[in-house]
Chain A
Amino acid sequence: MTLVSISSNLLFVAFVCYLIATMFFGGAVKVSGSKTSASERRWGRIGIIVTIVGFIANLAYFITRWIAAGHAPVSNLFEFTTAFGMMVVGAFILIYFIYKTPLLGLFALPIAIIIIGFASMFPRDINPLIPALKSYWLTVHVTTAALGEAILAISAVAGLIYLLKNVDITKKTKQRFWLEAVMFTLVLVLGFVASTTTFSVMDYEAKFNYVDKEQKEKEIIYNTPPIFGMNEFEALTPGTMTPLAEMPSIVNAKKLTTVTWSLLFGTVLYVLLRLITRKSISALLKPFAQKANSQLMDEIGYRAVSIGFPVFTLGALIFAMIWAHEAWSRFWGWDPKEVWALITWLFYAAFLHLRLSRGWHGEKSAWLAVIGFIIIMFNLIAVNLIIAGLHSYA
């Protein structure tokens, strides 16, 4: 077995551990309703032990891949997103040891699982580094930034639990709608995983010629049936589906197709879930969140932000500036990825001030934490995929 395949297997082990740990945390939360808090502690303890075992396997994945590649595995979308998922687990473990709440694990681990699952849908080969990335600042900057984001993500998890508990879902309110919308988005990510996996099992491939926005002829390969065709496309693979609509040159129809398939799969999944359980996802999860202490969740949410914010500032702004100064000759260039890091930072600064001086505790604070996570994920994924800048990875 090569080091690379050992590394992949370790990641798989970590993934499975996180699944198992989630169930134990679920068990801990279930039993805690009765008076047997000793048994809650037992389930919770097993949960955290399995989580730590998974985390060690995850770290081992990271280190072995690092050794195999010769550089820290944070240089493409798969690697970076996986590292982020790992750090979410790390941040959870840290917070768990402060507050000892199994409930947090019940929600944090599935989020980490979804992130790692999502990451695995991208090309997983090891890239050699392009000249701009050849610097130890790559390691320093990216890992610190991801760690900061992961800690901030825990605040969103606490916020979500707070909302699940406190939003009244028996009444038709804006809050109920948006909470379910957040749940739906999570299901869409599963839709993406499901559609990508389905078509890659089928080995689907369709090749096209097209004309890009600089009027150059190019070739592109779709791995999903092409719903949308690129500008002036011309099919090269016989027997594949003809695109239903042609897109102008500024739209990447391949990515649009991927998004559309994820939407389709995700929506079907969501509708099925609702039909089978006859409940909204919020209602499905509410019984678990019901056991939460709102006060504690609010506190964890704030604590996570105040731990994560300095780390994020250091990694995503300060180290980033130092590196940009070395690599691109300027510490700041208004590149979209940079700007979105700044936006994230400003957002959390606003969060802290609102909380501190406007008294935005409880529900408002929980919503802000969730929005902050959405901004982080936007920067992590959408900016790379949609807005191409200097940071766009291979």
Chain B
Amino acid sequence: MNNIICACGHENPEGTVLCGNCGRPLTKEAKNQKLADMRYEGTARRSQTYNKSIIDKIWNFFSSVKIGITIIVAILVAAAIGTILPQVLYVPATTEADIAAYYERVYGTFGKIYYELGLSDLYGSWWFQTLIGMLGISLIVASLDRFIPLYKSLKKQRTKRHESFMKRQRLYAQGENILGENSLAKSEEKLKELRYKVTREDGALLAEKGRFARWGPYVNHVGLIIFLFGVMLRALPGFYVDETMWIREGETRAIPEAPGFYLESKEFILETYDKATEDEVFGEAIDRVGTIASNYQTDVVLYKKPEEALPGQTDDLKEVKKESIQVNHPLKFEGYSVFQMDFRLDELKTMHFKLSNKASGETLGDLAIDLVNPETSYDVGKGSKVELLGYYPDFSGFENGEPQTKSPVPNNPAFLVKMFTPETPEGETSFVAIKQTVEPLGDNEFKLEFQNVDTRDVSGLTIRKDKTLWILALGGLLFMIGVAQGSYFNHRRIWIHESTEGHLVVAAHTNKNWFGVKKELDQVTEAAQLPPYIDQHDTEGQELKEDGEKSS
């Protein structure tokens, strides 16, 4: 590696723009600029120093802010495209075929194309995830590339800088030293009052404050990296549980993915705002919109199975706690959260029938069939019984003479029964549904007559456990600390030199908020009667802009 030896004798690594010791411009480009590029203190960054091996090339690619911005904009555009039509997650269809059909039916040809291009699941697509991954890499590489050299150079800055460095600062003054020997002392006093840290070295003064603000971007990028890392972790098994369960009133069920825990639903409650009892201020809104729900709630009891219990044994469950799960108030235990997400009202629970003689209308007895756990045989009394040959909880019609069920949920229960009475000891077969009775083996003497049903509500709950949450929280916190540090504080420096001819040279730099540093410099200028400074940016804005465009 060829070091660059500055006129002051200091050795600088290849790629350095401003001498680390005196601040003289070292490259031809820097010498031609009227204002110094102070972004990384003119230090050599790896990306500007090496460009030979493939690793150098990759490093340089990801360390470029231009590439970083391109990635950010690409993610932005992709994210926007994903909001044109609802994503599959929000579409009321589950199978691939249904989903495809849904997009075409509802959104026409555009919907079909959108679906075919995979835009309907954009955020889960490999290329979108790749973009996010590239953002992460870019963040890491760009931060490392800059942080170390910046840290070194800010740590060992010299108080005395070369004339050419001073001249290239945006705020610059040169002129008569009115107070003579006292100038620096007066300046120091004022600067300390303004809470600058002041160092002096034969005839030179450096005042600095808010250097820590310079680390803000690095802190926030580390936060972002940690956050992205946390998001990645959830793809690994064991870090993330996402299950749903439907539980009926009165039921006790094992909680999926939470071994040993059981949940009993006591009651599901749906409440709506009522104009009569609520505050009258809501009257108009209720009139306009109609019914407005005020609460979805499942009252539950959480149980734990004792350690020593046998698998499958559920009769000695220990109550852990009673709670009302509401929207915004999940049940929490041992890292799990159970959320109120959905409900179904009035699911059929028990069906009541009457066994009667078709001709006389005489009733032989009643029976009640539990639709979740039906029995195989029901004793009706008076020597009669009904046997259940088949149960079709969600009856959808006959296929080849066989009754079919759409789902195991008792939406439209139907039964194939055999009725035994003293008069018909060999039994009569009948098919019974809510609105329909079929007698497949010829006319019967008896019939099973539907009476009524008992219903209950079902709660849809989501079970989450997320071991990455603290990582995400840490990332978010660091990000916030970093942005606040970088945004609400500025790194300001003021240099004052006594030159040999009885002149003073003043220069000032800040990484942002020039208005603020100018106000402070005004005060120092007044207190120490420094020469009036000029803002070189006002007249030479064009150059600064161009130099920004060249480097990346």
Q: Please give the residue numbers on chain A whose beta carbons come within 8 Å of chain B beta carbons, in ascending order.
A: 4, 68-70, 98-99, 123, 125-132, 134-135, 137, 213, 248-250, 295-296, 299, 302-303, 306-307, 309-310, 313-314, 318, 321, 325-331, 333-336, 339-340, 342-343, 346-347, 349-350, 353-354, 356-362, 383, 387, 389, 394
**Contact assessment for B87 and A357 in the assembled complex, using a CB-CB cutoff below 8 Å:** no
Q: A310-B484, A329-B462, A339-B79 are in contact. Are A135 and B541 (CB under 8 A)?
A: no
A248-B108, A334-B82, A394-B292 known; A357-B487 Cβ under 8 A: no
Further 8 A-B residue pairs, CB within 8 A, beyond A134-B328, A295-B535: A128-B273, A137-B328, A249-B106, A296-B515, A307-B488, A327-B327, A358-B65, A362-B541
Return chain A residues, CB-CB under 8 Å to B407.
Answer: none
Judged by a CB distance under 8 angstroms, whether B326 is at the interface is yes
- Which residue from A68, A134, A303, A336 sits with its C-beta under 8 Å from B513? A303
Q: Does B5 contact A (CB under 8 A)?
A: no
The answer on a CB contact under 8 Å between B295 and A131 is: yes
Asked if B1 is at the interface (CB within 8 A of a chain A CB), the reply is no
- A292 to B487 alpha-carbon distance, docked (Å): 25
Closest 4 CB pairs of A and B: A359-B548, A125-B284, A131-B327, A357-B65
For the complex, is B246 an interface residue (Cβ under 8 Å from A)?
no
Q: How far is the CA of A225 from the CA of B87 in the complex (A)?
A: 34
Instruction: State whether A330 touches B464 (Cβ < 8 A).
Output: yes
Q: Do B328 and A307 have beta carbons less than 8 Å apart?
A: no
| Stretch with Cβ within 8 A of A (4 or more), from B66-74, B314-322, B440-448 | B66-74
Q: Does B149 lie at the interface of the complex (its beta carbon under 8 Å from any beta carbon of A)?
A: no
The interface bits of chain B over 35-79 (1 if a CB of A lies within 8 angstroms of the residue's CB, else 0) are 000010000000000000000000000000110110011011001
* Given the contacts A130-B292, A134-B327, A329 and B545 also touching, CB distance less than 8 Å: no
Q: A127-B285, A134-B327, A334-B87 are in contact. Are A350 and B72 (CB under 8 A)?
A: yes
Asked whether A357 and B80 contact (CB < 8 A) given A125-B288, A131-B295, A310-B488, the answer is no
Given the complex of chains A and B, what is the CA–CA distance between A137 and B328 in angstroms? 9
B545 touches A131 (CB 8 A): no
CA–CA, A357 and B480, complex, Å: 21
Contacts of B551 in A (CB 8 A): 357
Stretch of B274-282, B362-370, B375-383 lying at the A interface = B274-282
Most A CB contacts (10 A, CB to CB) among B86, B284, B293, B328 go to B328
28 contacts between A and B (CB under 8 A): A68-B281, A123-B288, A126-B285, A128-B273, A131-B296, A134-B295, A135-B328, A248-B108, A306-B512, A307-B488, A309-B483, A318-B480, A326-B329, A328-B339, A329-B462, A333-B89, A334-B89, A336-B83, A339-B80, A339-B83, A349-B72, A353-B68, A356-B65, A357-B548, A358-B65, A358-B66, A359-B545, A359-B546
- A131, B328: Cβ atoms under 8 Å? yes
Which of chain A's residues have a CB closer than 8 A to the CB of B292?
A: 127-128, 130, 394
Query: B residues touching A (Cβ–Cβ < 8 Å)?
Result: 39, 65-66, 68-69, 72-73, 75-76, 79-80, 82-83, 86-87, 89-90, 106-108, 123, 242, 273, 278-279, 281-282, 284-286, 288-289, 292-296, 326-330, 337, 339, 341, 462, 464, 469, 472, 476, 479-480, 483-484, 487-488, 512-515, 535, 537-538, 541, 544-549, 551-552
Which of chain A's residues have a CB closer than 8 A to the CB of B512?
A: 302-303, 306
For A326, give its contact among B328, B476, B547 (CB under 8 Å). Answer: B328
A249 to B107, CA, bound (A): 9
Docked pose: A279 CA to B549 CA in angstroms? 36
- A contact residues around B535 at 8 Å (CB): 295
Dominant secondary structure at the A interface:
helix
Q: Which residues of A contact B479 (CB under 8 A)?
A: 313
CA distance A126 to B80 in the complex (A): 32
Residue of A at shortest CB range from B511? Answer: A356
* Residue among A318, A327, A357, A362 with the highest chain B CB neighbour number at 10 A: A357
Alpha-carbon separation in the docked complex, A19 to B91 (Å): 46
With A and B bound together, what is the CA distance between A339 and B436 in angstroms? 51
| Interchain CB contact under 8 A, A346 and B72 | yes
B545 touches A314 (CB 8 A): no
Q: How far is the CA of A382 from the CA of B22 in the complex (A)?
A: 56
CA gap between A309 and B484 in the complex, in Å: 9
Find out whether the CB atom of B69 lies under 8 angstroms from the CB atom of A313.
no
- A259 to chain B: closest CB distance in Å? 18
CA distance A84 to B72 in the complex (A): 27
Chain A residue numbers with a CB within 8 Å of B469 are 325, 331
- Residues of chain B lying within 8 A (CB to CB) of residue A347: 76
- Say which residue of A132, A318, A346 sits within 8 Å of B328 (CB atoms): A132
Question: For residue A318, which residues in chain B have a CB less than 8 angstroms away from its CB?
Answer: 476, 480
The answer to whether B286 touches A128 (Cβ under 8 A) is yes
Task: Tell which of A328, A331, A339 touches B82, judged by Cβ atoms closer than 8 Å.
Answer: A339
Query: B515 and A99: CB pair below 8 A?
Result: yes
- CB of B547 to closest CB in A, whole Å: 7
Query: Which of A68, A128, A295, A335 is close to B278, meaning CB atoms less than 8 Å apart?
Result: A128
CB-CB under 8 A from B296, the residues of chain A are 131
